[in-house]
Amino acid sequence: MNTYHPLVSRFLRLNIATKMSLGYLPLAGIILLIAIFALVGLGKMNQINNTIVHHDIIVIETVDKLIDNLLAQESYARRYLIIGNADMYQMHLKRAAEFDTLVNRLRSLPDQSALPIHEIQSMYTNLNNTYQNAFKQVKESDIPVPVIDDTLSRTLKKLITLLQTTADSVHHSLNRKMIHSSDLGIYTFRIMASLSFLGLLVGIASALLITRNIARSIHQLKIATDEIASGRFDYEIRVHDQGELGELATAFQTMAHRLGRLEEMYLDASPLTRLPGGVAIENILKKRLDAKETVAFCMVDLDNFKSFNDRYGYAKGNQMIKMTAAIIESAVQAFGSPTDFIGHIGGDDFAVITEPKNARQICEQIVRVFDEKVISHYEACDLEKGYIESTARSGERSEFPIMSVSIAIASNESRQDVNHIQLGEVAAELKRLAKSLPGSQYVTDRRRYDKTEDRYADTNDTLQSEKETLTG
């Protein structure tokens, strides 16, 4: 029996997207409030920090430089008055110009109300005039230097005291601003922390309200997942929801059926090469031909593999099969397309489904690399003879040449309505022709399809002609 409030009941009957949207609206509102408080607080802190960086720190640095500059002027002036060195006089003038530049820097600040710039400039003008008078008196008379030094020192001391007082005032203002910025940051943090905690509570409540309604369906889907994972692809999913979860259950059921078919398709995959087997090859070929794609069906077969297996054992034979699979995969990767398919029919038989334009290059690469690598699997004595001795299927001892590879290329280029069985028969016929030729070969079907008789020309004369001309 439903004990929910009518509003809650209506909410639970909504689809998942609407539920989640409504459930997260309060959380979104709280996040918006957090963002507003954060932006306001950060804006105020940024304003304070800008004032500190672009005013207070500049004033403090400039005043310190002004004091250093005045002391340097006094030092150069005293040296000039004592020893009369013209270089000292020029250095004094240079420092005086720098002082004017520093004062102009203070004038360029946006807020000058708390700075005694006019007073600083006035006192410096008096000091500079005192310097100039002293310099003039030294040149024109014999006034004692200590009297001049005492006059300069008193004027200089007053100006330095004014600058230090200005610096101290700005330092106090900077400290107040930093304390205010810190208090503002703590206040903003507390508000954001409170709103975040409230948002967490709202989020948990919304999540519980939403998940409680869909938990049963999700539980059924989990059970179905476990059953399908264990191999029961025919398991019936018991989800009665008619919304998105019901659609998901239907799609899940369809996927399970397709997985069942894929399992059947790939159960015959070769455990040695891990390549898909005959069922997969047949299904892929049929699917592409039914889709009216132009394909080249290549059948790859090793010649004299049985004699090699008898001579060197199954372990060596398995290595040869793996090597051949690797050669085919490498050739398809180098000259094929991403949609190409490689399969292992069984034993020493492989298949490649590719585009006709790529078939020749792929087969040429397989033949070339196979002939290069196959000799490394034979002993030197057998390579020197050029054959191995083994028992034929008839039971007689025979000589078998070094292994080679034969490839047949059958395509539907000349006939678009050929089915996979017919194309396979053509490939098998061409493979027999390739195996009758010495060494590694690949052959293609150059016969034209006779539409009037609904068949390929396949007389002995035609096959003989193909045998003479179809070489890799």
Count Cα neighbours of 217 within 13 Å in the Cβ-side half-sphere: 19
Which among 424, 190, 209, 417 is positioned nearest to 297, based on CA atoms? Answer: 424
| Cα separation, 430 vs 412, whole angstroms | 14
Find all residues with CB under 8 Å of 241, minimum gap 6, and list them.
214, 217, 249
Angstrom CA distances, 291 to 154, 357, 411, 454, stand at 105, 18, 15, 21
- Residue 342 has what pLDDT? 94
List the domain boundaries for the chain. Answer: 6-208, 269-444
Which among 449, 462, 381, 382 is positioned nearest to 411, based on CA atoms? Answer: 449
CB 69 within 8 A of CB 95: yes
Which strand (E) or helix (H) includes residue 342?
Answer: strand 341-346
| Cα separation, 348 vs 374, whole angstroms | 14
- Residue 212 has what pLDDT? 66
CB 140 within 8 A of CB 175: no
Find all residues with CB under 8 Å of 427, minimum gap 6, and list them.
297, 298, 299, 408, 409, 410
| Cα separation, 87 vs 240, whole angstroms | 101
Q: Per CATH, is 6-208 categorized as 1.20.120?
A: yes
Which among 403, 375, 385, 376 is positioned nearest to 310, based on CA atoms? Answer: 403
- Residue 463 has what pLDDT? 41
Q: What's the fold here for domain 269-444? A: Alpha-Beta Plaits (3.30.70)
Which strand (E) or helix (H) includes residue 350?
Answer: strand 349-354
CB 441 within 8 A of CB 407: yes
- Residue 14 has what pLDDT? 65
| Cα separation, 234 vs 421, whole angstroms | 30
Measured at the alpha carbon of residue 416, what is the angle toward residues 360 and 450, in degrees to the nearest 5? Answer: 90
- Residue 461 has what pLDDT? 37
CB 390 within 8 A of CB 382: no
**Residue at token pair 């008839």:** 394
Angstrom CA distances, 191 to 29, 37, 341, stand at 15, 8, 63
For 197-207, the pLDDT digits (tens) are: 887 787 777 77
Angstrom CA distances, 5 to 8, 12, 336, 444, stand at 5, 11, 65, 77
Find all residues with CB under 8 Å of 248, minimum gap 6, and list them.
221, 239
Q: Which two tokens stand for residue 88?
A: 């000292």
In 52-144, which residue ranges form alpha helices assigned H by DSSP? 57-83, 86-107, 117-140
> Which segments in the chain show pLDDT lower than 70?
1-15, 19-20, 22-23, 138-152, 209-210, 212-213, 233, 239-246, 261-268, 392-395, 447-472
Instruction: Tell if the pTM clears 0.85, that is, is over it.
Output: no
| Cα separation, 33 vs 4, whole angstroms | 30
- Residue 452 has what pLDDT? 52
Q: What is the CA radius of gyration of the chain?
A: 48
Find all residues with CB under 8 Å of 83, minimum gap 6, and list them.
none
- Residue 48 has what pLDDT? 81
| Cα separation, 103 vs 95, whole angstroms | 12
- Residue 341 has what pLDDT? 94
CB 365 within 8 A of CB 332: no
